[in-house]
């Protein structure tokens, strides 16, 4: 049997280490993604009704001033928290798409007014085309008013990412997500939400940019 040459032994050793490194990277990737998914799921289950300076409702689709069912579920939760006196004001946030007549923030404010929340208790921050832009706009508006704490209202799976971004933006933040609406109706929508938010959060942590994906649930 022919003994391997030193060169062949070196190539074999390099290949073994390469395979080990690739396997190690794969295992680490699985652990990171899996661990993040678990955290998304854990925070989604939290309902923190601690008093805050403001309730912040993350925007969603609206149709000529009428909030989508996803957005309505968030707004109804914010109104519920307001009636429980969790905070003295509600902040709606979100800009508009090209061709829209209303911003998400304005349509949210109008909806809340129609459902009994006093107009002077609603602040509409009409900027932001993604979660990060919206959070940064809200943080700037609230800090300028001396407000430093917020309870965030969105879909459960969105909670960890919005909380992370809000704390990074300088506010104390906790979450009380909606438990109704298309985002939580089915196992499929729940699994999709966890999958989507896992990778969106990892992307934000790596780049500090937002990655918002459209819902597959009926809006």
Q: Residue 7: inside a domain, yes or no? A: no
Among 104, 36, 113, 32, which residue's Cα sits nearest to residue 68?
A: 104
Kindly list the distances between the CA atom of residue 164 and the CA atoms of 132, 134, 141, 205, 218, in Å, as whole numbers in the listed order. Answer: 10, 13, 18, 9, 27
Q: Residue 154: inside a domain, yes or no? A: yes
**Cβ count near 55 (within 10 Å):** 27
Q: Residue 112: inside a domain, yes or no? A: yes
The pTM for the full model equals 0.85
Q: Residue 88: inside a domain, yes or no? A: yes
The 3-class secondary structure across the chain, one letter per residue, is CCCCCHHHHHHHHHHHHHHHHHHHHHHHHHHHHHHHHHHHHHHHCCCCCCCCCEEEECCCCEECCEECHHHHHHHHHHHHHHHCCCCCCEEEECCCCCCCCCCHHHHHHHHHHHCCCCHHHEEEECCCCCHHHHHHHHHHHHHHCCCCEEEEECCHHHHHHHHHHHHHCCCEEEECCCCCCHHHHCHHHHHHHHHHHHHHHHHHHHHCCCCCCCCCCCC
Q: Write down the pLDDT at residue 218.
A: 41
Q: Residue 115: inside a domain, yes or no? A: yes
Cβ-Cβ contacts under 8 Å for 102 (sequence gap 6 or more): 62, 64, 65, 96, 110
d(CA 201, CA 98): 27
Residue 148: domain span: 44-207
Q: Residue 35: inside a domain, yes or no? A: no
Total tally of structural domains belonging to the chain:
1
Q: Residue 178 belongs to a domain with what CATH number?
A: 3.40.50.620
Q: Residue 156: inside a domain, yes or no? A: yes
Q: Residue 33: inside a domain, yes or no? A: no
Give the pLDDT of the chain (219 residues) as one tens digit per residue. 556 566 555 666 677 777 777 777 777 777 888 999 999 999 999 999 999 999 999 999 999 999 999 999 999 999 999 999 999 999 999 998 878 899 999 999 999 999 999 999 999 999 988 999 999 999 999 999 999 999 999 999 999 999 999 999 999 999 999 999 888 888 888 899 999 999 999 999 999 888 776 544 443
Please, are residues 125 and 138 in contact by the beta-carbon 8 Å criterion? yes
């Amino acid at each position: 049997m022919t003994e391997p040459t030193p060169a062949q032994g070196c190539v074999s050793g390099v290949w073994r280490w390469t395979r080990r490194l690739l396997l190690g990277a794969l295992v680490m990737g699985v652990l990171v993604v899996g661990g993040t998914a678990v955290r998304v799921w854990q925070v989604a289950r939290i309902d923190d009704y601690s008093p805050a300076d403001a309730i912040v409702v993350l925007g969603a689709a609206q149709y000529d001033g009428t909030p989508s069912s996803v957005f309505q579920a968030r707004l109804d939760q914010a109104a519920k928290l307001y009636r429980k006196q969790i905070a003295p004001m509600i902040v709606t946030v979100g800009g508009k798409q090209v061709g829209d007549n209303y911003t998400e923030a304005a349509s949210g404010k109008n909806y809340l007014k129609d459902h009994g929340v006093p107009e002077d208790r609603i602040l509409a921050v009409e900027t932001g085309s993604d979660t990060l832009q919206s959070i940064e706009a809200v943080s700037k508006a609230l800090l300028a008013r001396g407000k430093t704490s917020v309870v965030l209202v969105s879909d459960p799976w969105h909670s960890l990412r919005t909380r992370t971004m809000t704390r990074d933006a300088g506010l104390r933040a906790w979450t009380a997500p909606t438990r109704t609406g298309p985002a939580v109706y089915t196992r499929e929508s729940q699994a999709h939400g966890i999958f989507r938010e896992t990778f969106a959060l990892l992307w934000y942590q790596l780049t500090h940019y937002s990655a918002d994906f459209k819902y597959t649930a009926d809006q």
